[in-house]
């Protein structure tokens, strides 16, 4: 039986090593939102809410999530006994629309709590089978094609197995072509537009088709499947959907409409692990490869993503960069590392996510804290 007794919300300020620019904005600092859950038998588990400061990726923000968790999510789970963590998602979805990142933070925390209670790894608890995962890097928009080429070259030399290039109108074809020409036809490259294109700019997306990309991620609007289906018909390059995939039903829509051929699963965006597993299974049944996306998480969120990415159909490299890519120092020990061939190891022999939160460091970095308790 799983009973959640308290949830402590914390905001931690962590400076990114370098600013991260996507088509809809730039981040220099990451406001990290951590949850510490305690069970009735005194087991502790950490999770991370991946919402950002502004609603430029999805509609939620750190502040809407804080409010949603305090007002609606936590009160739903307190005072209940769950037979297992898979019972949390239906309780959170019943007559409660949206707020996926807020729900996911608690739902994923419940999975971690269950894994820690049983003394098994989160990967095993989720049904994961991979012992290591190939890693891709996500490169923000740079000042010039030459600057981007240097970053991409360094990433491949470091061992990354996929290089994702953020694009926007005015920083697309020329940038990606420069990287393709410098790094050769075999370099595993892809582009991510974060919704920057309208249907009128289809020609710029068609131009990318000759650059041999593994995929183009979310070129059109975040909630638009129909126009992605139209675009996919015009492209050889597979479209990968990120923002548009918010549930297993939206994934079914994608498949039926032909709106994309690859899915980026971010557990925060889809409401947690139960939904992620359903999307994973649906895609596996349709021969659609999936990979795990990232949201510039700290080592806590990274641990949840690594566990999820150990499931069988995560066949493409995930945006699961090691701690050193983002932070001077992470908030977990050990930090997440990647070997020279671009593999991150799933800590299958340790409980839960397999790393421990550095409490003193988190305490020092905390800018806001609130404890929620079962009545
Ligand atoms: O679209 O995948 C995205 C970061 C913030 C918001 C959206 C995205 C991203 C990334 C970062 O690409 C990937 C990472 O965490 O390394
Ligand atoms: Mg994306």
CATH number (domain holding residue 340): 3.20.20.120
72 CA to middle of ligand 1, Å?
Answer: 27
Per the CB < 8 A criterion, the answer to whether 125 and 111 are in contact is yes
Asked if residue 236 and residue 217 are part of one domain, the reply reads: yes
Asked if residue 158 and residue 33 are part of one domain, the reply reads: no
Residue nearest to atom 5 of ligand 1 (CA): 295
Asked if residue 30 and residue 79 are part of one domain, the reply reads: yes
Asked if residue 131 and residue 103 are part of one domain, the reply reads: no
> Which range of residues forms the domain containing residue 194?
125-345
Q: How many domains does the chain have?
A: 2
Question: Exactly one of 166, 168, 236, 277 is catalytic; which is it?
Answer: 166
pLDDT value, residue 200: 84
297 Cα nearest atom in ligand 1: 15
pLDDT value, residue 94: 98
114 CA to middle of ligand 2, Å?
Answer: 30
Residues of the chain with confidence (pLDDT) below 50: none
Cβ neighbour number for residue 119 with a 10 Å cutoff = 10
Asked if residue 273 and residue 153 are part of one domain, the reply reads: yes
Asked, for residue 351, whether it belongs to a domain, the answer is no
Residue nearest to atom 7 of ligand 1 (CA): 295
Asked if residue 168 and residue 213 are part of one domain, the reply reads: yes
pLDDT value, residue 332: 98
Asked if residue 306 and residue 368 are part of one domain, the reply reads: no
Asked, for residue 353, whether it belongs to a domain, the answer is no
Active site residue 17: no
CA pair distance 194, 198, nearest whole angstrom:
11
Asked if residue 291 and residue 148 are part of one domain, the reply reads: yes
Cβ(295) – ligand 1 distance below 6 Å: yes
| Residue among 139, 268, 295, 300 whose CB has most ligand 1 atoms within 8 A, to mutate | 295
Asked if residue 104 and residue 159 are part of one domain, the reply reads: no
Per the CB < 8 A criterion, the answer to whether 319 and 292 are in contact is yes
Burial of 95 (0-12, 13-18, 19+ CB in 10 A): exposed
Cβ(321) – ligand 1 distance below 6 Å: yes
**SS3 state of residue 79:** coil
DSSP per residue, 250-272: HHHHHHHHT--SEEEE-HHHHTS
CA pair distance 192, 264, nearest whole angstrom:
11
pLDDT value, residue 375: 83
CATH of residue 106's domain is 3.30.390.10
CA-wise closest residue to 112 among 356, 367, 365, 322: 356
**pLDDT tens, residue by residue, 232-276:** 999 999 999 999 999 999 999 999 999 999 999 999 999 999 999
């Amino acid at each position: 039986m799983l009973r959640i007794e308290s949830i402590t919300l914390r905001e931690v300020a962590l400076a990114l090593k370098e600013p991260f620019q996507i088509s809809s904005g730039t981040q220099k600092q990451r406001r990290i939102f951590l949850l510490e859950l305690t069970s009735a038998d005194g087991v502790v588990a950490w999770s991370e809410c991946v919402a950002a400061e502004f609603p430029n990726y999805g509609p939620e923000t750190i502040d809407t999530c804080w409010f949603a968790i305090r007002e609606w999510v936590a009160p739903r789970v307190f005072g209940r006994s769950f037979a297992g963590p898979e019972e949390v998602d239906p309780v959170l979805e019943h007559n409660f629309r949206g707020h996926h990142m807020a729900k996911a933070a608690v739902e994923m925390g419940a999975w971690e709590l269950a894994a820690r209670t049983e003394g098994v790894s989160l990967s095993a608890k989720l049904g994961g089978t991979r012992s290591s995962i190939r890693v891709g890097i996500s490169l923000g928009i740079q000042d010039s094609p030459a600057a981007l080429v240097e970053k991409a070259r360094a990433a491949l030399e470091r061992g990354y197995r996929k290089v994702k290039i953020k694009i926007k109108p005015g920083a697309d074809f020329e940038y990606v072509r420069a990287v393709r020409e410098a790094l050769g036809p075999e370099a595993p490259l892809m582009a991510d537009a974060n919704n920057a294109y309208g249907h009128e700019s289809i020609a710029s997306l068609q131009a990318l088709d000759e650059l041999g990309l593994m995929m183009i991620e979310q070129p059109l609007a975040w909630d638009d499947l129909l126009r992605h289906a139209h675009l996919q018909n015009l492209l050889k390059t597979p479209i990968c959907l990120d923002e548009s995939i918010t549930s297993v039903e939206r994934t079914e829509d994608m498949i039926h409409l032909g709106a994309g051929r690859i899915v980026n699963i971010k557990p925060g965006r889809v409401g947690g692990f139960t939904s992620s597993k359903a999307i994973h299974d649906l895609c596996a049944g349709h021969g659609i490869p999936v990979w795990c996306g990232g949201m510039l998480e700290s080592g806590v969120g990274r641990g949840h993503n690594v566990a999820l990415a150990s499931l069988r159909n995560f066949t493409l490299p995930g945006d699961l960069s090691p701690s050193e890519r983002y932070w001077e120092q992470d908030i977990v020990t050990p930090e997440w590392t990647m070997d020279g061939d671009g593999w991150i190891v799933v800590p299958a022999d340790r409980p839960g996510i397999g790393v421990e939160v550095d409490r003193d460091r988190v305490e020092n970095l905390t800018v806001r804290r609130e404890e929620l308790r079962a009545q």
